[in-house]
Amino acid sequence: MGVKEIFHKIKRNFLWQIFSFLPKDRNKAVCQGYYGRGWCDSPGAVGEELLHRGYEVYWIVKGEEEVKSLPAGVKPLFGERAASIYHQCTAGVWVDNSRKWAYTRKRGKQLYVQTWHGFPLKRIEGDAAGALPEDYLRAAKHDSQMSDLFLSNSRFLTEIYRRGFWYQGEVLEEGFPRNDILRGEHPQIVEKVRKGLGLSGDKRLLLYAPTFRKDQGLDAYDVDFSRCAKALSETFGGEWMVLLKLHPNIAEKAEELKYDPLVVRNASLWPDIQELYLAADALLTDYSSVMFDFMATGKPCFLYVNDLEAYRGDRNFYFDMGKLPYPLAENNEELLKAISEFSQEEQSVREEKFQQEFGLRETGRAAKATVDWIEKKSGRSERRA
């Protein structure tokens, strides 16, 4: 670590300590998604509701590229600059979907809503402590101690919060705010996606959205996209294309994959995957929690898990993969067979069984319920009335 970096950390930590004693503005909210990504995920959905109710909303970004994604009225804050620390320390509300680092300080009447980022298949947080770095575990415990509310989409996830997140505070079990949009029809968003990705209106779309591997390699993504598109056409009709959406951790590697550009369109840098859910006619994934979000659409879903045993050996799963309501294909031949044998009725029955067993709950009003909670806790709703 160089002298410049040491000085920066000392200055950053000092500013957090000093600014945290300043008065709080209950009408100011600071939101963030995935450590500085653009407007996205549940913090974005909550931020939109906060804007609607007259809050001054700030969003933490990594750089100028992320600023472009911010809606009108949202003010950017850049990383660890002094202005960013000042506004975080003086805001009445924080909203985040990832852990805040251990140097963060919350004091006074600040409310911190931790939205989290998905229904888990593989073990996470305290349930996977042996596989996580010590500095992350320290930050995670600190984050849970600061949190005033966790958002959940299921009885199952709420139980994990209690057991594995070092958290005993309030939980709002209304679903993930990012998924509120999936409860209705949004043709303008579908058109936005098609126009933004240069897709013709008659193409049907398979969204391929796998998670990343620990080594961040690409070997697991060996789907035969051309044969897959053909099988989809034979089963569902129409001409199909694949939208490739790699995990943000490896999104920049998408161009390294070999595929036919007439069959596959790279959507890895599209900022809001919920918009891609709306535009897609079906989903292909692996161990990613995107399958649980996509379940709200009722559209066909398939799982391609060609490295099942290796992935299981990383952190293991919370439950047997056989409980999932979607067919598991361990190679391309099995995937083509799953597509050709698809039954919407059978998938719907399996989804309903899964939702009942795990207590999945997506109300379509999670963002509103979250801000209702914030206003009740802060007393802002009474003052407005």
Q: What is the pLDDT of residues 37-94, one digit of tens each?
A: 899 999 999 999 999 999 999 999 999 989 999 999 999 999 889 999 999 999 999 9
CATH topology of domain 186-358: Rossmann fold (3.40.50)
Q: 200 falls in which pLDDT band (50, 70, 90)?
A: confident
What is the arithmetic mean of pLDDT over 241-245? 96
From-to residues of CATH 3.40.50.12580 in the chain: 186-358
Counting residues of the chain whose pLDDT is more than 90, the rounded percentage is: 81
- Mention every residue, 6+ apart, whose C-beta is less than 8 A from residue 242: 205, 206, 207, 208, 225, 228, 229, 259, 263, 264, 265, 284
Ranges for all domains in the chain classified under CATH 3.40.50.11820: 9-176+363-380
pLDDT at 382: 58
Over residues 323-336, the mean pLDDT reads 96
The amino acid that residue 165 corresponds to is: F
381 pLDDT more than 80: no
Q: What is the pLDDT of residue 28?
A: 98
How far apart, in whole angstroms, are the C-alpha atoms of residue 240 and residue 234? Answer: 10
**CATH class of the 9-176+363-380 domain in this structure:** alpha beta
Helix (H, G, I), strand (E, B) or coil at 282: strand
